[in-house]
A and B are shown apart, each in its own frame.
Chain A
Amino acid sequence: MPGLEDLYREIILDHYRNPRNRGELPTPPAHRFEGFNPLCGDEILVYVDLEDGVVSDVRIGGQGCSISQSSASMMSAAVKGKTVAEVRDLTTAFKGMMSIHETQLEGTDEEGEPPPDSGSDIALGDLEALRGVVKFPVRIKCATLSWNTLAQGLDELAADEST
C-alpha cells in the first residue's frame, strides 16, 4: 500500500509552497494556453514567450492541488530556455513516466533514473519526484494537466503557422 510520502515528496511540497514562475506574461507577444481538469475543476494557465523556436520565458497561473501546482512549477523551470522540439521530447518522457502501463507499480525510486520507456536519455531531474503519483491513479491527471496544456498549445500554434 503506497503511503502519503510516496506521493508528496519533499521536492513536490517545496514547489507547491514556493511555486516557480508564477504569474502572467503580456499577450501578445506571449501566448496563453488554458487547460482544465474536468474531473475536479482545476484550471491551469500557461504563458510562454517564444523567440526563434526557443521558450524564452514562461509563467503559470490558475488554481489546483499540490500535485498539479508543483508539476506546473517544475515544468516551468524545466522548459525555460529549451527549444520547442526539446519541450516536446521532455513532455513525451514525462508522460511516459506518468503512464501506468509503462511504469511498474512497485518500481524503485532512485533519483535520476530515466523512465524505462522514454526511448531517450532525457534527464527528468526534479521531475522524477513525481514518479510516485503513478501509484495514485486518480492523481495522474493532476500531474499531467500543465504538460498537456502546454503541448496542446504548442501543437495549435504549429498548426496555425502551417496554414
Chain B
Amino acid sequence: MAMTRDRALDTTRLRQDFPILGREVNGHRLVYLDSAGSAQKPRQVLDAMDDFYRRSYANVHRGAYTLANEASEALESAREKVAHFIGAGSPNEVIFTKNATEAMNLVVNSWGRANLRDGDVVVLTVLEHHANIVPWQILADQIEIELRWVPLDHQGHLDLTALDELVDGAKVVSFSAMSNVLGTLTPVRRIADAARAAGAMVMVDACQFVPHNPTDVAELGADFIAFSAHKMCGPTGIGALWGREAMLDAMPPFLGGGSMISDVRLDGFTPAPLPHKFEAGTPPIAEAVGFGAAVDYLSALGMDSVRRHEVELTSYALRTLTERFGDQIAISGPSEPAERGGVFSLAYRDLHPHDISQVLDERAVCIRAGHHCAKPLMRYMGVGATARASVYVYNDESDIDALSEGLEAAGEFFAF
C-alpha cells in the first residue's frame, strides 16, 4: 500500500470521528464504499443534533419563549452556514427542502408552471438522476414541453459538440454537475453560459458536486442548484435549494400551509417573504442543526483538501484495479482523475452486480448494485445495472484494496 507523506487528509485520525466505522460486519472491519448513496455521519453532527434535542428543542418562529427563540436561531444559523458554504449572496437564497429531489420538484412546479407554455423546450442530459427527469416528465403531461437530451461521448463526458443547437430556443437547461454513476464532472460554467446566452433558465443538480468540491454559486453561473445534506455527512430529511433571490422572489409558492404566509384571509393569502415562502409546515429543525454541523465539519477539513483527497484516491483506485484485473474489469466514466469524482461503476468479468455485492458484503465491503436511479443512462450504456463503489473523506487506500480483494474472491467464487 502506497502511503505518501503529504496527504490531503489525515484519514486515520478522521475515521475516529465516525462511530459507525468502528463497527464490524460478518467479523470484518466495515469498509464503506457507498457514500454516493449516502455518507456516514461524524460524531460532531450526531452530537449537535442530540444536544439540540436535549437542550433547545421547540418549534420555530411560533413562540416568544426562550426555547422557541433558541430553536429559531439554530435553524437560521444553519441556513447562514449553508449559504456561506456555497458562496450564496444571502441566506434568503437558501431554501430548506426535504432533499435534492424536493428542491428540484419545487423549481419544476413553481418556476416551471409559471413560466413554461406549450411548445417550450427543456434541455436535459442522458446522465441525469431520475430526480432531474421525472419531475419534467410529470410537467410534460400538463404542459406540452419538448424534452431534448444532451448525449455522451465514449468516455462518459457530455458530448457538447451540438450544444449551441441544443440550447437554441430552450427555456430551461437542467443538468447534473457530477454523475452519480460515471463520476463525470460536467463543465457547468460553459453550459450555463451557453444556456443563459440563449435566454434559458439554468438548474444544476449539485447533489454529488457540493459534498465533494469547493462550491461557489456565483462561479457556477446557474440560476438554481439543488443538493442533499445526507450525502455530505449531514442527516437525512433535509436538503437545500439555492436560487437567485430575484428569481425566487418572482416565483409562486410550491407547498402551502403554515409558516409560508404573511396573512391568510377567507378570500386568499399573502405569502411570506423569502426564504419562508417556500418552507411550508414545521421544518426539519434538528436536521438543519445537523446540516449546519456537517458544513462546519467539512469546512474545517477544507473543501480543497476534500477534493484533493478524492483525486488521490481515484487515481489509486483506477490504477490498482486496472493493474490487477486488466481487461477483466471495465470502469465507466473519464479515465482522467481530474475530470471525475470518486464514483466507480464497475463491470467485472461477466458477474452480475448483485452477485458481486453479495460476495463483498460477506467481507463487510459495502457497495451499491443496481441502476442508481439513472435508468435512461443504464439503457444508454446498454446495461441493466452496475456495481458502484464510491469514496469520501473517511476512505483510504486500504478500502480500495479491500474492494480489490473482494472482487478477486467474487471472481473465484463464480469462476466457470
Contact = CB atoms under 8 A, between A and B. Distances in A.
Given A7-B358, A65-B354, A40 B371 contact: yes
A42 B358 contact: no
Interface string A35-78: 00001111100000000000000000001111101000000000
A65 B352 contact: yes
Given A42-B385, A139-B358, A65 B353 contact: yes
Tell me whether chain A's interface is mostly helix, strand or loop, or mixed: mixed
Interface in B375-416: 375, 378, 384-385, 413-414, 416
Nearest to A63: B384
Interface centre among B369, B384, B413, B414 (most CB of A within 10 A): B384
Contacts of A63: 384
Interface residues of B, number: 18
Nearest to B352: A65
A125 B353 CA distance: 28
A18 B353 CA distance: 19
Interface string A100-139: 0000000000000000000000000000000000001001
B362 A4 contact: yes
A69 B369 CA distance: 16
A17 B349 CA distance: 14
B358 A64 contact: no
Given A4-B413, A43-B384, A136 B358 contact: yes
A2 B324 CA distance: 30
B414 A66 contact: yes
Contact of B416 (A4, A17, A64, A142): A17
Interface residues of A, number: 21
Given A1-B26, A67-B354, A41 B359 contact: no
Given A4-B413, A8-B413, A66-B414, A41 B355 contact: no
Contact of A41 (B362, B378, B416): B378
B337 to A, nearest CB: 28
A100 to B, nearest CB: 18
Interface string B362-378: 10000001110001001
B370 A41 contact: yes
Contacts of A3: 362
A139 B354 CA distance: 9
Contacts of B385: 40-42
Contacts of B414: 13, 66
Nearest to B370: A40
A4 B359 contact: yes
Contacts of B371: 40-41
Contacts of A136: 358
Contacts of A8: 413
A7 B384 CA distance: 22
Contacts of B354: 40, 42, 65-67, 139, 142
The 10 closest A-B pairs by CB, nearest first: A65-B354, A41-B371, A65-B352, A41-B384, A40-B370, A41-B385, A63-B384, A66-B355, A40-B385, A65-B355
Interface of B: 26, 352-355, 358-359, 362, 369-371, 375, 378, 384-385, 413-414, 416
18 contacts: A3-B362, A4-B362, A8-B413, A17-B416, A40-B385, A41-B371, A41-B375, A41-B378, A41-B384, A42-B384, A43-B384, A65-B352, A65-B353, A65-B354, A66-B354, A66-B355, A136-B358, A142-B354
